[in-house]
A and B are shown apart, each in its own frame.
Chain A
């Protein structure tokens, strides 16, 4: 499907009773692109995310993923198609160990046949071993191997953030959607995160859709930036264009 964008959203509206939270938002993510969605607090960025990932059913508009209309599908189906998200507030399985978090995430790829598991068939064991290897690989990749057997809730905040990304990555996504991944991170951690996102794109051939308030991060890695304000699209373009856009300066960035 070369030519068609990976994700194409047009005319997306989300209405909660009388409140129009998202109004005619459009965005597209090409394969291998990093696209950022920015805007003031309460602009509707997370609502857009929730519509894209099936947590809300959009009131109007179309969402096409790899050319296929996916709006209104339940969240788990979208995740299986390869659109996986993180959350603004970390949502790990806190009572489970770090490595188990990664195993749960691979549920869709595992042999979930009851009988196979009860009798521990060869194919079942192989699938389990592969899942474990994949988890180990990603823990190594994100520098979490030391804490692999710890309970996820006991990790430091920065580690929890990284674990959440690792948990998305083991599901083998094609589009990774990060909701404020740098929130609560210190400048050093933010810089590391920026590097990680760029590397994920280059190494894994991922496309990334990002909500972020850290302008340094956004301007540093985005190929494309979409600005929304009070639910409406405000501007759309390369980081340079957006930075100079008078409306964006007025509504969000402020004069510097």
Chain B
């Protein structure tokens, strides 16, 4: 058995030596006008050797390791009692009530930076839920979702900069603008399927970012837009001193000014937006359009033969998904007070997609859980510095081994025929 593994193990070790030798072992250095190759030091050579040895041994004893691995208990399945309970609508509702209550009480018990982090989590929840419509429900792989997020953010930022529009009007405008972009971009690309669709949406996401970067006369280019007004509560501002013709929150309620109030307000605002998103998506799922998304994901040909226009249904999913990204973008712009094209790179799209996949395609609770993990993980792993991305990769690989269906796979509300 070991002999059979010897050859592949040797090959892998050689590959490791070649690859890491080229990547880490040699460096180019400028000397005068020319470049010279410089070999790495002794320690680099030792490290490469150790890595090659590890890979060699790993492949040699691969079968033993797999046997060991199989003895590791699988991640516990959801206990039967809980799944039965979860199937009951009353229990379901109670659970959501608890989650919402916890989300409302929590900011009063913790400190400012935690609330701030939670607000960021909520933004990602909103983005995850929106992308979930497109990817999880309608089955359209969209790699350029961040483009609509950018459209939302820039719509509010530009409107406030040029026309002095407030947050609430901006929110509606951002949603509408992102929806319009979703509609316009969706029209030509939704004829494509699978990988092709993924590539084209990826391109669109990048086009939007590059456009924002280079349209300097309008968007200020890479310098970004600053001084974006913060949201207000029915005209009450969350600042120490009110701007002209306005009133501040602490004056109105006769309490001392506390900068935490604004952080908390932003958190609650994000919470309200997330709850709104959840409500809308839950309704959509039970509506004819939700059923059509699902049917389309399963069999497009059958859908066409039953009089469903596939393009219209897909466009619908694309537009609605984009709208939520627009809302999230507007909120993001208002929270940060400053945006630049750098906030909307492809990696954001990838993270949002990872949230959807990690949570379990189509599952809403899963998306929330995954958004929390994906946002908290980089914060917790701060000392790992630039290796943080490796953790993402590790997490994804472990997921694919243990739970390919996602943390909480979707259980769609099936409509039942009552006798």
The answer to whether the Cβ of A154 comes within 8 Å of any Cβ in the partner chain is: no
Asked whether A118 and B306 contact (CB < 8 A) given A93-B294, A99-B417, the answer is: no
Chain A residues lying within 8 Å of B284, measured Cβ to Cβ, are 114, 117-118
Chain A residues lying within 8 Å of B414, measured Cβ to Cβ, are 96-97, 100, 149
Asked whether A148 and B417 contact (CB < 8 A) given A93-B295, A104-B292, A104-B295, the answer is: yes
Asked whether A91 and B289 contact (CB < 8 A) given A96-B295, A104-B295, A108-B308, the answer is: no
Cα A168 to Cα B299 in complex, Å, equals: 15
Question: How many A-B pairs with Cβ below 8 Å?
Answer: 113
B307 touches A87 (CB 8 A): no
Nearest Cβ on chain B to A114's Cβ, whole angstroms: 7
A103 touches B309 (CB 8 A): no
Contact partner, A79, options B292, B305, B416, Cβ 8 Å: B305
Nearest Cβ on chain A to B183's Cβ, whole angstroms: 14
Nearest Cβ on chain B to A208's Cβ, whole angstroms: 16
The answer to whether the Cβ of B304 comes within 8 Å of any Cβ in the partner chain is: yes
Contact partner, A76, options B289, B291, B298, B307, Cβ 8 Å: B307
Nearest Cβ on chain A to B292's Cβ, whole angstroms: 5
A149 touches B306 (CB 8 A): no
The answer to whether the Cβ of B310 comes within 8 Å of any Cβ in the partner chain is: yes
B298 touches A171 (CB 8 A): no
B298 touches A107 (CB 8 A): no
Cα A254 to Cα B347 in complex, Å, equals: 66
User: Which residues of chain A from 192 to 243 have any CB-CB distance to chain B below 8 Å in the complex?
Assistant: none
CB nearest to B310 among chain A residues: A76
User: Which residues of chain B from 280 to 310 have any CB-CB distance to chain A below 8 Å in the complex?
Assistant: 280, 283-284, 287-289, 291-292, 294-295, 298-299, 301-310
Contact partner, B302, options A80, A87, A118, Cβ 8 Å: A87
The answer to whether the Cβ of A43 comes within 8 Å of any Cβ in the partner chain is: no
CB nearest to A132 among chain B residues: B417
A92 touches B302 (CB 8 A): yes
Asked whether A105 and B298 contact (CB < 8 A) given A97-B415, A149-B416, the answer is: no
Nearest Cβ on chain B to A163's Cβ, whole angstroms: 12
Size of the A side of the interface (Cβ < 8 Å), in residues, is 42
Nearest Cβ on chain B to A100's Cβ, whole angstroms: 6
User: Which residues of chain A from 70 to 94 have any CB-CB distance to chain B below 8 Å in the complex?
Assistant: 74-76, 79-80, 84-85, 87, 91-94
A87 touches B291 (CB 8 A): no
Q: Mark B366-402, 1 if CB is under 8 A from A, else 0.
A: 0000000000000000000000000000000000000
Chain A residues lying within 8 Å of B288, measured Cβ to Cβ, are 103-104, 107, 110-112, 117
Chain A residues lying within 8 Å of B289, measured Cβ to Cβ, are 112, 114, 117
Nearest Cβ on chain B to A127's Cβ, whole angstroms: 9
B416 touches A107 (CB 8 A): no
B305 touches A87 (CB 8 A): yes
Cα A84 to Cα B308 in complex, Å, equals: 12
Asked whether A171 and B306 contact (CB < 8 A) given A94-B298, A100-B291, A118-B280, the answer is: yes
Nearest Cβ on chain A to B187's Cβ, whole angstroms: 16
The answer to whether the Cβ of A167 comes within 8 Å of any Cβ in the partner chain is: yes
A96 touches B294 (CB 8 A): yes
Contact partner, A107, options B280, B291, B299, B305, Cβ 8 Å: B291
Interface residues of B (CB under 8 A from A): 280, 283-284, 287-289, 291-292, 294-295, 298-299, 301-310, 414-417, 419
A-B contact pairs, 26 of them (CB 8 A): A53-B305, A76-B305, A76-B307, A79-B305, A79-B306, A84-B307, A91-B299, A91-B301, A93-B295, A93-B299, A96-B291, A97-B415, A103-B288, A104-B288, A104-B306, A105-B307, A107-B288, A112-B287, A114-B287, A117-B289, A135-B417, A139-B417, A149-B414, A149-B416, A149-B417, A167-B306
Interface residues of A (CB under 8 A from B): 53-55, 74-76, 79-80, 84-85, 87, 91-97, 99-100, 103-105, 107-108, 110-112, 114, 117-118, 120, 132, 135-136, 139, 145, 148-149, 167-168, 171
For the A-B complex with A104-B308, A117-B283 known, give 7 more contacts whose Cβ atoms are closer than 8 Å: A99-B417, A100-B415, A104-B294, A107-B291, A108-B307, A114-B284, A149-B414
